[in-house]
Amino acid sequence: GAVVSQHPSWVICKSGTSVKIECRSLDFQATTMFWYRQFPKQSLMLMATSNEGSKATYEQGVEKDKFLINHASLTLSTLTVTSAHPEDSSFYICSARKIGTSSYNEQFFGPGTRLTVL
């Protein structure tokens, strides 16, 4: 298998607070994990690429100081939404690519985290 989990599955927070989302590969190691966000009835937009042991690479338009990514091990990446605002409310999905596989191989996705900022 290739199972990716996310925690929490949903979170409601007040404006101005920070929220941490975890992404874990449960039965494989992943040097690269990806973070996406998805608005209702829309497609996935890549936010950043997370590499174990190095700084994340952010897509154009994504504020790295607002969306902090840490990839401390081969099975865990975290996304922290700092000083969250209502416009940050979205569905955040992570994915992982198996270690040792081509960069062109498929990604394995987590179940997503629904963030609602009041």
DSSP secondary structure of 19-77: EEEEEEESSS--SEEEEEEE-TTS-EEEEEEEETTS--EEPTT--TTTEEEEEEETTEE
Q: Is 84 in the site for another protein (CB under 8 A)?
A: no
- The closest alpha carbon to 1, from 24, 26, 23, belongs to 26
Q: Is 7 in the site for another protein (CB under 8 A)?
A: no
Q: Is 77 in the site for another protein (CB under 8 A)?
A: no
Q: Is 29 in the site for another protein (CB under 8 A)?
A: no
Q: Is 109 in the site for another protein (CB under 8 A)?
A: yes
Binding site for another protein (CB under 8 A): 4, 6, 32, 34, 41-46, 49, 91, 93, 95, 97, 103-112, 114
